[in-house]
Amino acid sequence: MAVGKEDVVEILKPRTDKRDYRRIVLHNSLEVLLISDPETDKCAASMEVGIGSFSDPEGLEGLAHFLEHMLFYASEKYPLEDSYSKYITEHGGSTNAFTSSEHTTYYFDVNADCFEEALDRFAQFFIKPLMSPDATMREIKAVDSENQKNLLSDAWRLNQLQKHLSAESHPYHKFSTGNWDTLEVKPKARGMDTRLELLKFYEENYSANLMHLVVYAKESLDKIQSLVETKFQEIRNIDRSYPCFPNHPCTSEHLRVLVKAVPIKQGHKLRIIWPITPGIRYHKEGPSKYLSHLIGHEGEGSIFYVLKTLGWATSLSAGESDWTYEFSFFKVVIDLTDAGHEHVEDIVALVFKYIHLLQESGPCKWIFDELSAICETVFHYQDKTPPINYVVNVASNMKLYPPQDWLIGSSLPSNFDPSIIQSVLSELTPNNVRIFWESTKFEGHTDKTEPWYGTAYSVEKITGSMIQQWIESAPDEHLHLPAPNVFIPTDLSLKNILEKANCPLLLRKSPYSRLWYKPDTMFSTPKAYVKIDFNCPYSGTSPEAAVLTNIFTRLLLDYLNEYAYYAEVAGLYYSISVTDNGFQVTVVGYNHKLRILVATVIEKISKFEVKPERFAVIKEMLTKDYQNFKFQQPYQQAMYYCSLILENQTWPWNDGLEVLPHLEADNLSKFVSLMLSRTFLECYIAGNIEPNEAESMIQHIEDVFFKGPQPISQALFPSQHLTNRIVKLEKGTSYFYPAEVLNPSDDNSALVHYIQVHQDEFMLNVTLQLFALIAKQPTFHQLRSVEQLGYITVLMQRNDSGIRGVQFIIQSTVKDPRQIDLRVVAFIKMLESKLYDMSTDEFQSNVNALIDMKLEKHKNLREESAFYWREISDGTLKFDRRACEVAALKQLSQKELIHFFDEYIKVGAPRKKALSVRVYGSLHSLEYNIDQSEPTKPNLVRIDDIFCFRRSRPLYGSFKGGFGQMKL
């Protein structure tokens, strides 16, 4: 039975939201939100269970997380292992889950016509899951592999250190991921059976009254309701009360401490943390939102502005985190420069000085009203997001807020209450603080080790009076509140654009630029998207040029920060990023004041000057980034080598690191004027913007760069239109590149097994995509679930400038990369029978799933723009790609798919071109030496020198013919 009429609650939704919502409660007390969206292509569901890692039994760390893994395997109704994931994947969907401290969230999406069966399979997790002894043992290995992946991650390490330095009696103190030791070795030693404990944990905790479900579908609310009632009413309700974890995890002994910790990566970070009253208790007053807006501000007069001016910090963020209803922390996190590392006492003092300023000036109504107005605009004009993200987000609000606020959560502060803001502000005191200071300079100067991740640290007590002394001797900088925000949009009207183009039009072209224009015909939002791509041949001529281009873009962002930060707060975002052949400027957000921001960015580029003191800071940051490359996950290193082998015009990271120390400010000054001296602008403007506005914007940019008595830039010569071309591998040949992991402390090895297939062509594209769809789930099932090679095991498509292929990516500690490679080859052999024996129905079902995926509409302007920009930047310009590929799919026969597999993918296929990048972790260094020196077999080529190899291979032609004669 649904709730009676008297319980009907109107759920507050954005003005622009056409979806229908309904709250129901089933007989078993499961609370559900139904969402009907007739326009959706994907349906989705999320179940949040009010039990998380805080409920792990003593001595079984990670049990809640392990259970989350296990529910995916099988159920009494669907006993075939991994059949849930298989069904979802084969019907165009995806699925995942995560465990938090007080809840565990499961979710999926799927093509709309398969939703009912997918939902039934999902519901069985919570009705009668099967947790076989065999699967249990294998999945402990997956949890252990997931933990292995995190062991050298600073984010995980520092998070656990903060937990470690809290009351042992509080569950916050625990280790929550789990590993082989906590889930197998120690329980066994105590005579415990982990599987029985798992079943007991499920039986005692998974109760319908602790669950919240969100279901997002195409049908009417009545239909969705009857679907939910039939599928979920069998979840048992044992009337379990929510577990309660009162008190704050940090007692007085854990406050007033300065913790020095040694990170893995180069750099220095400062975290200033206070326990506070959870903001969730005041979601309408938004005290934490108000304080994080001011303490985290980056405009003139802010803490960050002052620290940046002094050359002490490169980023600052502030806000509430790690919160529950019972406790919370307010954190200020600052990335320090080397100079900042020498002035930590001054930096802490400046933070307290600003807090003192806030206490003195008292909560300001105009600042609260401004923030409230921005939040309201953001809420009412929010972009549609993929249903899978939306359901997870809304499900997380259901336990915390009254039903009418489920879509709003804490996002709309509306009650200005100075006393509540003041009371939270009064908790940010020197007597209440925890300071975590990370730096590689502390290596060898610490005396303690955190047990789970092995982080070296030391603890010093500090007193309020010590901090008072720091405040008295800190530099006397002019800290003040922000100015009123001029970027807040007031005109949110929609333009009446007569041009109803369904794909981008070439609106304007000249020797200097091309402008592609796409009016908004889909989203009806007052937003626009502008991308200006500066194609500068001089930017990619050498490692020095590539590094200087990078410094140039970072300096631009640095100069614009205090001005453009206001725009960002008001929902107008920008980025300046390096590309293969230059750099690009992107601005996206409310169109009302967008042009002002674009003009300012363009002016900064045209009048670029190098400020030596900022150059030094950016150079230091970039040096650390290059040095930290070696701490990337091994699978990321393998993907990097794969790109380096395939992309003809790329420089290796170590060349950049080598040239950096010798670059000075005057090198950059000379370089920027040279770089900008020849350029071509590829422009894309879309959204709520009229064609004449778009044209005049580009005309203005052309005038700035190419006009006047001494123009900054000139048009490119036809010979200068550069493009990134891709190495063509040899048919019938397998290449491999062995490398050692760059961080000798990393035990993980990785493999990327790439199969290059063809250059962009509709029929081959869809055949390859269909193969990838059919093979994706079996890859995961066989190589991860059954063989347990590693937590990261994935098959995905690859597209390098229009050159298509597939790649297997696996990270492992249990086997070396060569062994994993052999397992991939064995798996491809197994796939043969799957493809040859596939029934006509199964083939057609996969084709239909892929067609549905291709017909999926873009959700928002950013998503649509990214799709069209890819066509422009690759030079393919196939704006009607989806329709053409759907037409090709409808023609594709099963015989053609098998022929494709036999020609390109199958072991020993005549046209197969394979490249294996093998990155050997420290556990497999012996195997690396063998792989590097062993004689190779026929048709197997070891790459010893990437650059010799690149020079020796032919290249695919580019889709980008010279300017004006774009080859399609």
Nearest to 803 by CA among 768, 733, 754, 756: 756
CA 809 vs CA 147, 636, 771: distances in Å: 18, 9, 16
Neighbours of 447 (CB within 10 A): 8
Strand partners, 914: 734, 755
Q: Residue 933, class by beta-carbon neighbours within 10 Å (0-12 exposed, 13-18 middle, 19+ buried)?
A: exposed
Most distant pair of Cα atoms in the chain: their distance: 86
Decide: helix, strand or coil at residue 418.
Answer: helix
Contacts of 897 (CB under 8 A, 6+ apart): 767, 770, 771, 835, 843
Classify burial at 446, counting beta carbons within 10 Å of its beta carbon; exposed 0-12, middle 13-18, buried 19 or more. middle
β-sheet bridge partners, residue 318? 332
Enzyme catalytic residues: 68, 139
Structure tokens at 99: 């465990």
Angle at 301 between CA 300 and CA 307, to 5 degrees: 90
In the chain, how many H helices and how many E strands?
32, 27
**Encoded amino acid at 164, one letter:** H
Instruction: Report yes or no: 549 and 708 within 8 Å, Cβ to Cβ.
Output: no
Q: Which amino acid is at 345?
A: E
Helices (H), 857-937: 861-874, 881-891, 894-900, 925-933
508: left (phi over 0), alpha (psi -120 to 50) or beta: beta
- Structure-token pair, residue 93: 């969907």
List residues bridging with 212 in a β-sheet.
Answer: 31, 48
Query: Could you tell me the two tokens for 492?
Result: 């949110």
Total Cβ atoms within 10 A of residue 846: 20
The HSE-up count of residue 619 (CA atoms within 13 Å, CB side) is: 19
Alpha helices, DSSP H, located in 459-542: 464-473
Structure tokens at 251: 């007692």
Q: What are the beta bridge partners of residue 48?
A: 105, 212
Residue type, 197: E
Residue 169 CA: distances (Å) to CA of 135, 165, 172, 427: 33, 12, 9, 23
CA distance 106 to 96: 6
For residue 832, which phi and psi values (nearest 5 degrees)?
Answer: -50, -55
Query: Structure tokens of 101?
Result: 């401290």
**SS3 of 448, please?**
strand
CB neighbour list of residue 378: distance below 8 Å, 6 or more residues apart: 411, 571
Task: Report the C-alpha gap between 431 and 63 in whole angstroms.
Answer: 37
End-to-end CA, the chain: 59
Tell me the one-letter amino acid at 103.
Answer: H
**CA–CA distances in Å: residue 524 to residues 39, 488, 491, 519, 702:** 14, 19, 14, 10, 30
Strand ranges (E), 611-741: 680-687, 733-740
Residue 459 tokens read as: 């603890």
Antiparallel, parallel or unpaired: β 42-49 and 104-111: antiparallel
Residue 726 DSSP symbol:
B
